[in-house]
């Protein structure tokens, strides 16, 4: 179980706006907030004695304006959704949070489909940078900026 930081959720929020065409900032903020509280509720379910603070919806939404970048690639975005999906316990969350989880799973399928249409391979294929991206909401600084392993290997060093 991972307690994802608000900073990680900011990356996630920015990526919803970048990769989910047509999603408004209000929709992205609400989805992100519900996934954040689902993560917290899952942690409390697993570790009943844990002390976690939870930002109010207003404070959480205000923090989404912090200057964090979206994920560089669809692969990073997908890995972040996988991390959330694995970390949230369905039995521990409310109906509204479950709807948010279902929406995120639909977004994951959309990202998988769009990736396959663009590259003619699964997003998890060994020819992608999937294995180089962290399964977390906070990306490592040295994560790939391209989707395909061959492109990443051929990038000139900084």
Pair of tokens at residue 16: 């919803």
Rounded to an integer, what distance in angstroms lies between the CA atom of residue 156 and that of residue 158? Answer: 6
Rounded to an integer, what distance in angstroms lies between the CA atom of residue 149 and that of residue 125? Answer: 10
Rounded to an integer, what distance in angstroms lies between the CA atom of residue 1 and that of residue 143? Answer: 23
> For residue 42, which of 85, 74, 82, 81 has the smallest C-alpha distance?
85
Q: Using one digit for the tens of pLDDT, what is the confidence trace for 96-126?
A: 999 999 999 999 999 999 999 999 999 999 9
Pair of tokens at residue 69: 């970048």
**pLDDT for the residue 17:** 96
Structural domain boundaries in the chain: 6-153
Q: Using one digit for the tens of pLDDT, what is the confidence trace for 6-65?
A: 999 999 999 999 999 999 999 999 999 999 999 999 999 999 999 988 999 999 999 998
Rounded to an integer, what distance in angstroms lies between the CA atom of residue 88 and that of residue 35? Answer: 8
């Amino acid at each position: 179980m991972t307690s994802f930081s608000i900073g990680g959720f900011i990356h996630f929020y920015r990526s919803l706006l970048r990769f989910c065409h047509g999603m408004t900032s209000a929709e992205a903020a609400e989805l992100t907030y519900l996934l954040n509280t689902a993560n917290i509720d899952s942690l409390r379910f697993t570790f009943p004695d844990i002390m976690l603070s939870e930002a109010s919806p207003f404070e959480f939404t205000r923090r989404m304006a912090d200057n964090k970048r979206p994920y560089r690639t669809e692969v990073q975005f997908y890995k972040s959704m996988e991390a959330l999906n694995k970390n949230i316990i369905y039995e521990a969350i409310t109906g509204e949070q479950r709807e948010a989880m279902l929406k995120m799973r639909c977004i994951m399928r959309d990202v998988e489909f769009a990736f396959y249409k663009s590259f003619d391979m699964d997003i998890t294929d060994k020819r992608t940078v999937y294995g180089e991206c962290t399964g977390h909401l906070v990306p490592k600084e040295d994560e790939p900026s391209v989707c395909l392993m061959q492109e990443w290997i051929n990038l000139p060093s900084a």
